[in-house]
Amino acid sequence: MSKSINPATQLYSQLPVTGAANAFSDYYPVPVSLGMAGNQFSDYYWMCIDAMLQDEEITADLELRHSTSFMTPYRVEATSEDLSFANAVLARLDLDNLIERCLYHADYGFNPVEIDWVKDNGMVLPVASERRHPRSFRWGKNAQLLYSSTGGTGFDYQTVPVGKVIPIVRNGSREKPYGESVLESAWATWQSKWSHVEQLERLSSKYSVPTSIALIDSGNATPDGLNDVAAQMAAIDSGGSVALSGVREVVQLTAAGKASELMGVIKDFDNKLAKLITGQTLVNGTQKYGSRALGEIQERAVLRIMTNDARTVYDALNKTLLRWIFQFNNRPGSVRMVFDKKAFQQSMISMQGNGGSITLSNTGDASLKRAKGLCL
């Protein structure tokens, strides 16, 4: 059973780091090996995603998706009084960083972001945000968020105080309360890619042989003669020149096989991964040929993905942070971030006049100024 926590005492303190509890002293655990999960238990879903994030192609595609989604135009709906109050409360919070951290819901499907609060001059203020790994969190039967200080390895789950963590869920449902990661659909392609990478590595090991061999007449094939030729051949491998005696012929070995074919297949799989994650293949450089028309089509595909990711973040912030700042300060009012469809359509229309490029910015009667809170 989960323990009840007093929100008044837990709201201003940070959640403990998973695995930090120690019987001897309170210190942070050392980093684990690359590619390994933070805790050794049957956490296959998160472990598979962590393994895929070690792939530079997937990491680059996700970073492109995050950075593009970050530029989605939006506006703020609120009265002037509520907007002024929200601007004062959020003044110490870096909203740029918060939105960027919220956009990682595409990676895992379930993205918890912890908020640090302080009490200053009778006001409860959010001051910092930090992205936490989803493996430490669970949903309770009553839709409450639970947290484990051991990373889910035990039964120490405690209820997270309201206002402490913003859960961003991508395509969440009753069947999938932890959402859907974009990497789910890329799993089979990624597995196939790495089976070819393994073949390429085995092929390179096969080619790790001497660069040349010496053919010796049978009359000179004595142990002393062979050792003398081997010593002289070492100079050839080192790039030097030498006059060989007792050698009939020197044959230079060359690596020939399926290396180029394997590289081509790997590039094709990288193209598929890029299309699955970003909706295009031009920006990441894996597309060899392209045209302006193809670029515009692929850019529109990126924008559709971008708006869906951004809307998920706006919806999560509306239900959590932008509601908490009024609730915790005992003040009526509301503020909502919404996708600016008008500004987005204007950007799409101006695409033809800008040589196919789209420039997105935050516009509207009331917009969220980057890293400076809400303003009129």
- Give the tens place of pLDDT for each residue, 273-297: 988 888 765 545 544 544 444 445 4
- 19 belongs to a structural domain: no
Residue 151 shares a structural domain with residue 226: no
The distance from CA 39 to its chain's CA centroid, rounded to whole angstroms, is: 19
Q: How far apart are the first and last CA of the chain?
A: 47
- Note whether 109 and 180 are within 8 A (CB): yes
Single-letter code of the amino acid located at 304? R
Residue 281: its pLDDT value, please? 56
Quote the CA–CA distance of 304 and 286 in Å, as a whole number: 21
- 113 belongs to a structural domain: yes
- 151 belongs to a structural domain: yes
Residue 125: its pLDDT value, please? 93
pTM score, two decimals?
A: 0.71
Residue 375: its pLDDT value, please? 36
Residues of the chain where predicted confidence (pLDDT) is lower than 50: 1-8, 21-24, 37-40, 283, 286-287, 289-295, 297-298, 352, 355-376
- 275 belongs to a structural domain: no
Domain housing 244: 208-252
Residue 96 shares a structural domain with residue 151: yes
Residue 218 shares a structural domain with residue 174: no
Residue 233 shares a structural domain with residue 179: no
Q: Which residue has the tokens 């204007």?
A: 346
Quote the CA–CA distance of 66 and 62 in Å, as a whole number: 6
In the chain, the number of structural domains is: 2
Residue 230 shares a structural domain with residue 370: no
- Note whether 85 and 126 are within 8 A (CB): no
Residue 316 shares a structural domain with residue 171: yes
Helices then strands, counting H and E runs in the chain, come out as 12, 12
- 273 belongs to a structural domain: no
